[in-house]
Amino acid sequence: MEAALSVGMSRLQAIFRIILPQALRLALPSWSNEAAYLPKYSSVAFLVTVPELLAKAKVVIAQNLKPLEVYFVVGLIYLVTIASLSKILDMVYERYKFTVE
């Protein structure tokens, strides 16, 4: 902060250009892990998403009488959702990761 102020940056500029990027590089891996684990392990997310998916699956099963295929698709939807969330957060981490030279 002192170095930024000494070269003429305001406090707000120093925070946005120096302090915040360094803090995000350190915090992003933990945040991405938490964001990926939240839908898997949170009881609230479980109580909202899984019954909703399974309720829709029951409607589809009642229409076409193919439970195995429907439950496979529901599992695939859940897997794709979690995998895409993890991949997006990995890309964000790679973009802002701290490089040691």
**Per-residue pLDDT tens digits for 16-29:** 888 888 888 888 77
Average pLDDT estimate for 32-55: 70
State the sign of the Cα–Cα–Cα–Cα dihedral 56, 58, 61, 66.
Answer: positive
Sheet strands (E) in the chain = none
* Number of Cβ atoms within 10 Å of the Cβ of 32: 18
Q: How confident is the model at residue 39 (pLDDT cuts 50, 70, 90)?
A: low
The pLDDT of residue 87: 85
Q: Name, in order, each residue with C-beta under 8 angstroms of 54's C-beta and a sequence gap of 6 or more.
A: 74
* Number of Cβ atoms within 10 Å of the Cβ of 70: 20
pTM of full prediction above 0.75: no
- Residue 63 Cα distances to 54, 59, 71, 93, angstroms: 14, 6, 14, 43
- Is the CB of residue 66 less than 8 Å from the CB of residue 20? no
Given phi > 0 = left and psi -120 to 50 = alpha, else beta, which region is 8?
Answer: left
**Per-residue pLDDT tens digits for 60-100:** 999 988 899 998 998 888 888 878 877 887 787 777 765 54
